[in-house]
Structure 1
Amino acid sequence: MSTAGTTEPLYAADRYGYSDLLSGAEQEVLGKLRAVLDSQVAPLLADYWEAGEFPYQIRQPLVDLNLMAPDGVADSQGRTSGLYGGFRNFELARTDASVATFYNAQSGLFRSTVLHGGSAEQAAELDPKIRSFELTGVFALTEPEHGSDIAGGLATSARREGDEWIIDGAKRWIGGAATADVLAVFARDEADGQVKAFLVPREAPGVTLTKILRKTSLRMMQNADIELRSVRVPDSARLANINSFKDVAALMRRLRSDVAWIAAGMQAGAYEAAVRYTLEREQFGRPLASFQLTQQKLATMLANLTASLGMVVRLTQRQEEGIFRDEDSALAKMFTCTSLRETVALAREVVGGNGITLDTGVARFHADAEAVYSYEGTHDINALIVGRSIAGTGAFR
């Protein structure tokens, strides 16, 4: 494939050369990202994954790359192409799902919430700080009793008193909350019953965070339960363009494509790890990669990855054209995560007994796939969103 502008912008796993659609400058930035990930991040992963802790020392090298608005790639407003943003998630996830989720919590979830949920004035003021990590934040929507039914079941409440809002409720599975400056909290306005969004300082009186323990997936990602008791924020902390759950759904339409890119990137990481192992490991006097059954499994993994890349590339191109549909992003999330599950399972198979250790990387991808399969919309919910568009009638309310 073409490597104009840098050296090997992606990898042999990009069999159909989707990365050729990137500019030379975009490929160069992604090449620098891969170099940092391979040299400074990958060597830390096994130990931190096993410990259930996040290697925060990797944050600054990633921040220093200015990945959200790199010179020569971003326009004067700090905007980049959708394909660049997608391949950035792909690169991060190729190394580790927790690393991709950690970075995307800032670059995707939080930034998109402010850019599209805030007023023009709020976006203009906050976006440069978000891009530089001067202001960090997370997306706090899911609740302890409400995941898939969050649209109708969201229980966190907000009531206005003068120039302040008082927020009560709880959130769950909020990744990165413990180190964020602010929490983008979605709450139901008691006055009109509509969902609003508020930027709540993490250390505001009444905010309590508790780390979620005993996870078997995304172990490095620090997820938190959040309790909000009579938390007061000024009206200026409310994001002006989120006034109903329809506005939240519009955000989710954009964010599901990020997860689909992450699912594709994880497939690349698992596939590459499996190829490396089977080329090096010998049984019966031959490399594992020389056996027919192994080659069939590797071919299936590559097919899954290639199909997933094709889907997310085309979805992103259509979104760049202004075409945002729930069923399109849901279809991509559903398919890429189903393919991810099969791909990581096949990777674990070909690595054999060593596939349950952290030494090859395959075990991490295998376990982490389960979290990605469920977050930002479960497989079943996304399938029903697609089904509704096919049949013209919803199977759920």
Structure 2
Amino acid sequence: MSNIFSKVKKGYELFKSIDLTQLEALSKKVDLQEMMTAFGKLDDQQLMGIQKMLKSGTKKHRELPPINGDFYELSDSLSPEDRELQLKVRAFLEKEVKPIVNNYWLKDRFPHELIPKLAALNICGLTYDGYGCPNRSFLMEGIIASEMGRIDASIATFFGVQSGLAMGSIYICGSEEQKQRWLPKMQKMELIGSFGLTEPEVGSAVAGGLTTTAKRVGDKWILNGQKKWIGNSTFADVNIIWARDLADNQVKGFVIEKDTPGFVVEKIEGKMALRIVQNGLITLTNCEVSEENRLQKCDSFKDTAKVLQMTRAGVAWMAVGVARGAYESALKYTRERKQFSKPIASFQLIQNHLVEMLSNLTAMQTLVFQLSKLQDEGKLTDEHASLAKVFCSLRTRDVVSKAREVMGGNGILLEYDVARFVADAEAIYSYEGTKEINSLIVGRAITGFSAFV
């Protein structure tokens, strides 16, 4: 009898943890006297289980850890000034870019209203010395490329063409007069640039011979040929065009301003990736360019390759940003999406996918941090940049694929962002040197044999 009384007493203690409002609501659902009798038949382990259940029901909602793709906290190694700039760029992208990119991506249009806002950040030509450029580190340039890729690869590509390929061609291959003429306005984004190297029939083989030709006639050059996939070219003010000099068969660089007779751009339609980037097919028909618009310090493709080496590191960083954006979007989704009355992030298979994504992302981040360190120390080689491009673009493909997988059918909807990351990762995988070509550059460096045809 005393044992039953003890158990009922424990049941009473449990009910004391329920306030009067809850008790009144409970009395409308169950017979409280019958329940008290039932408590007398429970053993101690069962009573403890009920008590635990009641206590857990009164606990406050557990705060989840922050969503942060920088798992190894690499950003903590930045100086306070660099960290401040990183967060400034991130805030801009979150506020100004993220809300509009899906709409522009879907419509295959470019948000021109963003250009003056980007210019106000004063990050264009970040690593160059002089001409109004900030002269910051290559590490910081990479971090900015990653921050842009985290929100949208198209905006990152637009900026990479402007700040890296176009301005970089003039900075590396131009005379002092040419630098003074174009770079300050490009830094302020008052002039927008494009970079025309790839051709309809010549992509990976550009080093072996361009079909676009240049012939000198007096103090002018006559250019003929086509360039394809040229980002920004539909609205660029200055276009860097690389052509083969018929006199010595060497590559020369030219700055062709818009509205130049014989220079025609046709927008490439029907892309499944980087749809915000306005890629053009450029046709040059007896296009006259003055000698003063020829890049004076470019005498062969080796000079062009210096520009590509510098910007290839930025593409690796951009791939990291895309992977981070996809991972963080997927993590957020899985913590909010419920199936079987539980967030799917609590399921083992989902957690396994998320950890694999984070592993790839963290490996990429540590690689590009070291890559930029080499670049800042003047030790960067073609093979360093190529290895980063190979690994990061390949692993990004895997990350975005798993992000789409954990989101199920919603993963193909633009509103969740990951569908855009999946598509854009395919373009990053191919441009600035395909995975295969970049692999052969690294292979040549480690074996001593060239496998190029």
| Bin for the TM-score computed over the shorter chain | over 0.9
Shift of 1:126: 2.6
Residue 231 (str. 1) matches residue 287 (str. 2): yes
2: CA distance, partners of 1:108 / 1:19 = 23
| Alpha-carbon separation, structure 1, partners of 2:297 and 2:130 | 23
Aligned to 1:98: 154
Alignment gaps of 5+ in structure 1: 1-9
TM-aligned CA deviation for residue 120 of structure 1: 3.1
Contact 2:312 2:385 in 1 (8 A): yes
* Separation (CA, whole Å) in 1 of partners of 2:88 and 2:129: 20
Which of 30-39 and 104-113 deviates more? 30-39
Structure 1 partner of 2:403? 347
Matches of 2:180 and 2:269, distance apart in 1:
37
CA distance in 1, matches of 2:360, 2:444: 25
Moved over 6 A (4+): none
* Cα separation, 1, equivalents of 2:403 and 2:227: 35
Tell me how far 1:101 sits from its aligned partner.
0.3
Residue of structure 1 in register with 2:77 after alignment? 21
Distance 1:136 1:52 in 2: 19
How is 1:1-150 mapped onto 2 (pairs within 5 angstroms)?
Answer: 12-68=68-124, 78=133, 79-150=135-206
SS of 1:107's partner is helix
* Structure 1 counterpart of 2:442: 386
Aligned to 2:61: none
Amino acid in structure 2 at the alignment position of 1:238: R
Q: CA deviation at 1:36?
A: 1.6
Q: 1:215 aligned to 271, 292, 297, which one? A: 271
Offset at residue 292 of structure 1 (A)? 0.7
Q: Following TM superposition, by how much is the alpha carbon of 1:24 offset from its aligned partner in structure 2, in angstroms? A: 1.4
Correspondence for 1:364: 420
| 1:296 aligned residue | 352
- Paired position in structure 2 for 1:185: 241
Kept after mapping to 2: 8 A contact 1:69/1:80: no
Aligned partners of 2:116 and 2:230: how far apart in 1? Answer: 22
SS state at 2:255 partner? strand
Alpha-carbon offset, residue 184 of structure 1: 0.1
CA distance in 2 between counterparts of 1:76 and 1:228 reads 33
Cα offset for 1:69? 6.4
**Compared with structure 1, are the counterparts of its residues 75 and 155 closer, same or farther at alpha carbon in structure 2 (3 Å cutoff)?**
closer
Shift in Å, 1:168: 0.6
The whole-number CA distance in structure 2 between the counterparts of 1:117 and 1:75 is: 15
Match of 2:256 in 1: 200
- Deviation of 1:324 (Å): 2.6
Q: Does structure 2 conserve the Cα–Cα contact (< 8 Å) formed by 1:176 and 1:222? A: yes
Return the alpha-carbon distance in structure 1 between the equivalents of residues 176 and 424 of structure 2. Answer: 37
Ranked by relative contact order (alpha carbons within 8 Å, sequence separation 6 or more), the top structure is 1
For 2:342 and 2:370, the matched residues in 1 are separated by: 40
Contact 1:156/1:170 (8 A) holds in 2: yes
Structure 2 Cα separation of the partners of residues 17 and 109 of structure 1: 30
Instruction: Give SS of 2:113's match.
Output: helix
Superposed CA deviations along residues 1-45 of structure 1, whole A, max 9, x for unmatched, are: xxxxxxxxx972111122223221222222122112111111111
Which residue type is aligned with residue 254 of structure 2?
F
Residue number in structure 1 paired with 2:324: 268
2:390 to 334, 359, 364: 334
Q: Point out the more displaced range, 363-372 or 123-132.
A: 123-132
Cα distance in 2 between the residues matched to 1:109 and 1:19? 26
Q: Which residue of 1 aligns with 2:219?
A: 163
* Structure 1 contact 357–363 (Cα < 8 Å) conserved: yes
Distance, in Å, in 2 between the alignment partners of 1:330 and 1:305 is 18
Contact between 2:125 and 2:167, CA under 8 Å: does it hold in 1?
A: no
Instruction: Decide whether aligned partners of structure 1 residues 11 and 235 sit closer, same or farther in structure 2, where only a CA change above 3 A counts.
Output: farther
Equivalent-residue separation in structure 1 for 2:172 and 2:235 (angstroms): 23
Match of 1:5 in 2: none
Aligned residue number for residue 254 of structure 1 = 310
Q: Does the 8 Å contact 1:22/1:83 carry over to 2?
A: no
For residues 364 and 37 of structure 1, what CA distance do their matches in structure 2 show? 16
Report the secondary structure of 2:438's partner residue.
helix
TM-score, normalised by the number of residues in structure 1: 0.94
* Matching residue's letter, 1:18: L
Unaligned runs of 5+ in 2: 1-65
Q: Are 1:177 and 1:202, in contact at CA under 8 Å, matched by a contact in 2? A: no
Cross-structure match for 1:278: 334
How many angstroms apart in 1 are the aligned matches of 2:93 and 2:193? 23
2:432 alignment counterpart: 376
Please state how far the C-alpha of 1:231 moved relative to its aligned partner. Answer: 0.7
* Residue aligning to 1:174: 230
Q: Where does residue 53 of structure 2 map in the other structure?
A: none
What's the TM-score once normalised by structure 2's chain length?
A: 0.83
* 8 A Cα contact 2:115 2:189, kept in partner: no
Count residues with an aligned counterpart: 386
Measured on the aligned residues, the alpha-carbon RMSD in Å equals 1.6
2: distance between equivalents of 1:161 and 1:345? 53
* Structure with the greater alpha carbon radius of gyration: 2
Measure how far apart 1:75 and its partner are: 6.6
1:248 Cα offset (Å)? 1.2
Q: Is the 8 A contact 2:142 2:317 kept in 1?
A: yes
The C-alpha deviation readout for 1:260-303, integer Å capped at 9, x for no partner, is 01000001100110011001000111101111111111111111
